[in-house]
Structure 1
Amino acid sequence: MEYLKLAEELLEFNKKSASMFHSIDNIKNYMEEAGATYLREGEEWKLEKGKAYYTMRNGSSIIAFKIGRDLTDYHFQMTASHSDSPTYKVKSVPELEGPDDYLRLNVESYGGVIDSTWLDKPLSLAGRVLVKDGNKVESKLLNIDKDLLIIPNQPIHFNRDINDGYKYNRQVDLCPLFSAGALKKGAYDKMIADEMGVKEEDIIAKDLFLVNRQEGKVWGLENEFISTPKLDDLECAFTSMKAFIASNNDKAINVYACFDNEEVGSNTKQGAMSTFLHDVLKRINNNLGYTEEDYFRAISKSFLVSCDNAHAVHPNHPEKTDDENKVFMNGGIVIKEAANQKYTSDAFSQSVFKTILNRAEVPYQNFANRSNIMGGSTLGNLSNTQVSVHAVDMGLAQIAMHSNYETGGAKDVYYAVKGLEEFYNTNIKIDSAHGFEVE
């Protein structure tokens, strides 16, 4: 079945995306296999209609775009997702000696981690390493394919309160065990150097994160579910990428964006609040010979689908979700809305997106938080501070969001690819907020 094939490909994609740097490298490889040309931000761009391109920032964010051949009604049709997931970052001085012969690692949380889900599981390390090579310093990816670490719980005999709402102290309880005596201080840097095939003194700096080594699975008697690390938001990064690559729209410029740092607020040089998207769109405009006035007109007619997963009804806690605006795994694409505009969806943008999904015969659901529970924010409202366009927030329903092993519906992967491909293939003609036409 097609949905199972896509679900398995997603799990393999997630496995290869051990850090945000690996996520973007993974996406880059897909883009190159599809024939897209790489454009360095620091070099001159020469663009042609009918061609596909991509550029990257910080090695952890990517924007790809396809230029239509007939841009009579010039505008952008965009999706945005994110490459990062909650985890723990290893500090620059990484080793903690003791007690006695123990050697532990010094880490701090990245994003809204559910601490308990990281304990008593085999872990490894992945990220980037800056390495000196003569007079040059180069960034290199590292993903150690070995069970290296574990964060041990206390036995219940020492912590009788562990089942009564125990609060983990991240400076004390979350330090991964690296060795019980076989390794001494300095072993960490030696390990990194050996893995990279370089001298220790040639390593300048590192951005390394803990990685859950648990394999992703399609599971259930009827293969209903997928569980994997980093489902939020690599499921949306993957499905929007597949849709972008498969799309063909000669009357628009299709754009695929995957930003870093959503889990820590997006306010970085490579996050959704950065100038990255604005810079790329403006360079496209200028390179194709359009004026600044043309750019403003194009933006007014453009549309963004912000893609970040949504909370399914929890089987043990249905009371946490709204009585009516609730969603379920395998129920189709989730359209998210919030009166406080943490989600960008409004009546206009929902109408555009629902019209497209109806054309594709893709099921969809509406989500809103309970009125007494504050929801999280995502990409759309943040990227709109730099590029203000009509936008809708969507996601795929999942449970255990921000656990290090999350669960979603296997069929929803297919629904997202099909729905977003229809979005990219549809020429959306927007008349301010007065109305729209699709063709």
Structure 2
Amino acid sequence: MLRLPGADGTLTEHRPRTEPAAFTAGGHPRTESGGGSALAARTVFSAAHVVADPYADISPDDPAAVDWDATLAFRRHLWSHGLGVAEAMDTAQRGMGLDWAGAAELIRRSAAEAKAVGGLVACGVGTDQLGARPASLAEVKAAYEEQLALVEETGAQAILMASRALAVAARGPEDYLEVYRHLLAQASRPVILHWLGPMFDPALEGYWGSSDLDAATETFLAVIAANPAKVDGIKVSLLEAQREIDIRRRLPGTVRCYTGDDFNYPELIAGDEQGFSHALLGIFDPLGPLAAEAVRALEADGGDPKRFRGLLDPTVPLSRHLFTAPTRFYKTGVVFLAWLAGHQEHFRMVGGLESARSLPHLARAYELADGVGLFADPGRAAARMRALLEINGVEQP
């Protein structure tokens, strides 16, 4: 029995599960151009976190120290279940503890590991080497080009992420159209375009030239319409299911929609009579094996949408909890669950981000994760939760 602190300051008792989670490894995804995975029609990426090196003697002003062995082992775990890895995205603390030099090394290592094991990998391309200083549109283009070249040199697919620098430099929609037109012309293979909403990064308010989401949507779709052959798909992270569906229905037939909606992913992946979303999700970091099994059930011969929803629907309260405002700190819960699950031996994060969520928040995350049977070793998860509670002064029975 564990005594867990609630948001109201009271303690409640939780009896941990004893039965371990059992999910079937799904084989490695295919790596042909244009995506595709062992999960058949739906291409499913997990945006993966990085593991900090707890032994590095660094200060808050030093570059992040990454435990490369544990970081790559976690990616092999995801690949073993048939998932693709979306690398060096915001889940990897890009721009929140991991700088461009660290992200570049992560991309190189992850892409090489993907080649070695036959894993599907797509990597984030941004402009974070510019830092916080104001930059011209020419400098924004050059920064994007530098990162695009590195990703393509590794053989990985590129994900064109939203740029804080472009959000500052752009005078209106026409500047976004010009920058993305230029970048798509430079790309040697189709890319994924990423629209990250301000709930994930407040610096991206007004992206695509307007805070009016309807107007921004028109600009976003205009970018795709101008060169659809260079766009494999789009990732929409706005946490608005209907807006994603509306955008999905307006895409050219060759362009995929990858849901980034960590609130409504089961219904968006399941789809409707007019289509479905693929997935590129931060919540599929902790849910990896369960999510893979759910999608395989959906795409088995004859399909089993009831089993798909039966597996994924119960995980939505956990995801909504992890991604509660301020949403950008969801990474703390993701790494916390990785520690409980045994994918790393500590609960430390680059940039000290382990302190970004309260003890009651983490306790609730554990309770929800244990409730859906997420842990392969529930005893270890409970023991680690107990240790965290006790070291924070919560006496246990």
Q: Normalising to structure 1: TM-score of the pair?
A: 0.23
Structure having the larger proportion of residues in helix: 2
Q: Which has the larger radius of gyration?
A: 1
Q: TM-score, normalised by structure 2?
A: 0.25
